[in-house]
A and B are shown apart, each in its own frame.
Chain A
């Protein structure tokens, strides 16, 4: 089954304690991306990756790191989490091609609470 898997789904942690949210896809997609969703602000892109070893900043990259060592994995790292990073996070992947209707697949979301 084609899917994007995020872990954990829920996490409550404390300020300053490093954490990693994993994202894995089994569709051999080139493009992967992380978003955060906050009430009143909608969805905002954090980082994206066009392929292995290629990552770029989205609109809100501060306080986050990513890596793309393998095609299937795109972990989101919070080196020193702060309460303003409390949010709902989504990972997504898609093929990168000229076909207009290539779907983008999303993970189920990770709800992070930083106390």
Chain B
């Protein structure tokens, strides 16, 4: 069975601080996808990134960056110079791409990020 653990339930930072959200996963699959989603206070779900397990290259998108390390089964998300608008719940997720559960998606419990002005 696959599992996604976001050890940080809540994080509180002051604006302009950098913050890293941890995500550790377990899977027996050799191929899989990893995701991050954002859920702001308004409640909608926003897709942030999808990463193929074959691609360990780190990704940067503006103030967001992702560090994928297959050796430690981690896919951490860093927000640089955080802003109040970054306050949200962030979810990490893992998708099977092989076997009988092809396409099944498992989420972590989510990390509540609060950025104070």
Q: Which residues of A contact B (CB under 8 A)?
A: 31, 33, 35, 40-45, 48, 50, 56, 58-59, 88, 90, 92, 96, 98, 100-106, 108-109
**Does any Cβ of A come within 8 Å of B52's Cβ?**
yes
Nearest CB of chain A from residue B49's CB, rounded to whole Å: 7
Identify whether the interface residues of A are mostly helix, strand, loop, or mixed. Answer: strand
- Residues on A with beta carbons closer than 8 Å to the beta carbon of B107: 35, 42-45
Total A-B residue contacts, Cβ distance less than 8 Å: 63
Q: Does B40 interact with chain A (Cβ within 8 Å)?
A: no
- Chain B interface residue count, CB cutoff 8 Å, equals 25
User: Within B5-52, which residues are at the interface with A (CB < 8 Å)?
Assistant: 33, 35, 37, 43-47, 49-52
At the interface, is chain B mostly helix, strand, loop or mixed? strand
Residues of B at the A interface (CB closer than 8 Å) are 33, 35, 37, 43-47, 49-52, 55, 91, 93, 101-110
A sample of 28 inter-chain contacts (CB < 8 A) reads A33-B105, A40-B109, A41-B109, A42-B91, A42-B107, A42-B108, A42-B110, A43-B45, A44-B107, A45-B105, A45-B106, A45-B107, A56-B102, A56-B104, A58-B104, A59-B104, A59-B106, A88-B43, A98-B52, A100-B33, A100-B50, A100-B51, A100-B55, A103-B47, A103-B50, A106-B44, A108-B44, A109-B44
Q: Which residues of A contact B49 (CB under 8 A)?
A: 101
Give the chain B neighbours of A109 by CB distance below 8 A: 43-45
State A100–B93 Cα separation when bound (angstroms). Answer: 14
Shortest CB-to-CB span from A53 to chain B, Å, is 14
